Structure 1
Amino acid sequence: MGGPKQCQVCNEAVSKYKCPSCLVPYCSLICFKKHKEIPCSMPVASQQNQKETAGPQSSIERPLQVAEPTKVLQSSQLEALASSSEICNTLKDENIQKLVCDIDNSSDPEKDLDKAMESEVFRAFTDKILSTVNP
């Protein structure tokens, strides 16, 4: 342990970076882009204890249910978000992180999103996202 980790994408090179979303180690921009072809998310270690009562090895990911497929972001839009320093800097704010996690883990995410939109900081953050994906 503690030694250099191997890239989890190409399994050939030593990783120099970690995915900001899911912490998977990768070695280069090429491997990062290949990794990002499939959406990933932050590991939920703190929630694992709560989920254990749901049954053995229950999946923590909720199934993707899309009412309007046209609302799903394309890879190019996701890359634009990932490469936006303004959005990445905003995501360093612990209050924004907590709001996003609370909405993602909510039993009524639409209600919690509406409530979060009352915050000027969160509303500015979502405006940045919208202007990045729909320039």
Structure 2
Amino acid sequence: MGPRRQCQVCNEAQSKYKCPSCLAPYCSLVCFKKHKEIPCVKPVSSEEKSTTEPVLRVERPYYVDEPSEVLQKLPLESIASSSEICDALKNEDLQKLICNIDCSPHAEKELEKAMEIEAFRIFTDKILSTISSASSCS
């Protein structure tokens, strides 16, 4: 465990707790009540709060041979809103597999290896069926 931070209210004691709203460190109930006299908010930029749509960020450029194979907005949204897919993504082993594929310079080989794992195959089947049902709606 890292070094304890000082209470931001009294600046004397070490903080044992963090404010659930703004994550400010505090040491006691007395300091927490004092801290709460002034309304506080989560440290999130106002721009991020106003957007209700999920933001898809691509951190690096991607190159494709077939532009037609890149998913359009509707199939991407249907994947993002699928509770089945979101639940599957809570699996840490699956997260690691996806990260390994994404970070690998030989992504296709990593993908082939991952397809041998049943949990990953089931996950990709869910994505493909979600995409095909979204495509048939448009």
The answer to whether the superposition gives a TM-score over 0.5 is: yes
- Following superposition, the deviation at residue 121 of structure 1 comes to 0.8
The runs of 5 or more residues in structure 2 that have no matched partner are: 1-21, 24-39, 134-138
User: Aligned residue for 2:104?
Assistant: 106
CA–CA separation in structure 1 for the residues paired with 2:43 and 2:77: 24
1:59-107 CA deviation, whole Å, 9 max, x = no partner?
A: xx43210111111111111110111000000000000000000000001
User: Aligned residue for 2:131?
Assistant: 133
> How high is the sequence identity, in percent, across the aligned residues?
49
TM-score (norm: length of structure 1): 0.63
Root-mean-square deviation (CA, aligned residues, Å) is 2.0
The runs of 5 or more residues in structure 1 that have no matched partner are: 12-24, 42-60
- Following superposition, the deviation at residue 7 of structure 1 comes to 5.8
TM-score (norm: length of structure 2): 0.62
Q: For the pair shown, which has the larger CA radius of gyration, 1 or 2? A: 2
Equivalent positions of 1:66-81 (< 5 A) are 66-81=64-79
CA–CA separation in structure 1 for the residues paired with 2:112 and 2:52: 33
Q: Does 1:40 align with 2:57?
A: yes
User: Aligned residue for 1:5?
Assistant: 42
Instruction: Give the match's secondary structure for 1:134.
Output: helix
